[in-house]
Amino acid sequence: MTHSILHIDTSIKPEGSMSKSLTSDIVARLRAAHPESSVTYRDLAAHPLPETDAAWFAAISVPAEDRSPEQTDIAALSDRLIAEVRNADTIVIGLPVYNFNVPSQLKTWIDLLAQPGVTFRYTEDGPEGLIQGTRAIIAYASNGTRMGSEIDFASAYMRHILGFFGITDVQFVASDHFAIDAESSVKAANDGIAGLAA
């Protein structure tokens, strides 16, 4: 059976990116376990997505079948990104920590995924995520912001927002103290990749 992988990189570094190195290694591990895998790749820094605005909000607030041609065009990218997530068995996301939080490029991707009634809905019992059965593996990379520490606002946000969409199987691989001890930081990440269930 084909295993579908969505590979998302977000680092602004064209070379020498730890998060890109980690996502590449994670995808390689998944493909080794699933030789028939298909991979959809997006580099959100090299090919930035447009930020959401009032026109986008108006377009996605209308049911798809009721949108005007202009609204359909405006919502098309958001719909395509959602389809990529829905079609993925596993999403591999590079998370370089910038100023204690997620890169703006990654936040824009998340904003474009947030369509009420499509990726989430509100019920009497609270919000319900509408993307089911998808696994996420996040490559967390930081020079010194330890994952899970009081100054780490990135990993908790990613776990929360993915869960909000219904993606609750979320795993992290972390190289989170590279500027302090590069060797042990890389080793910790490699050990984390080796321990992933493929």
| Dihedral in degrees, nearest 10, Cα atoms 85, 126, 100, 12 | 20
> Contacts by 145-149 with C-beta closer than 8 Å and gap 24+?
145/97, 145/100, 145/176, 146/176, 146/177, 147/172, 147/174, 147/176
Q: Is 1 a known ligand-binding residue? A: no
Position 136: which residue type? Answer: A
What is the C-alpha to C-alpha distance for residues 197 and 91, in angstroms, rounded to an integer? 14
147 appears as a binding residue in the annotation: no
Integer Cα distance of 29 and 55 in angstroms: 41
47: exposed, middle or buried (Cβ count in 10 Å: 0-12, 13-18, 19+):
exposed
Find out whether 18 is annotated in a ligand binding site.
yes
Was 19 annotated as part of a binding site? yes
- Of the candidates 68, 65, 43, the one whose C-alpha atom is nearest the C-alpha of residue 55 is 68
Please enumerate, by residue number, every residue annotated as part of a binding site for FMN: 11, 17-19
Please enumerate, by residue number, every residue annotated as part of a binding site: 11, 17-19
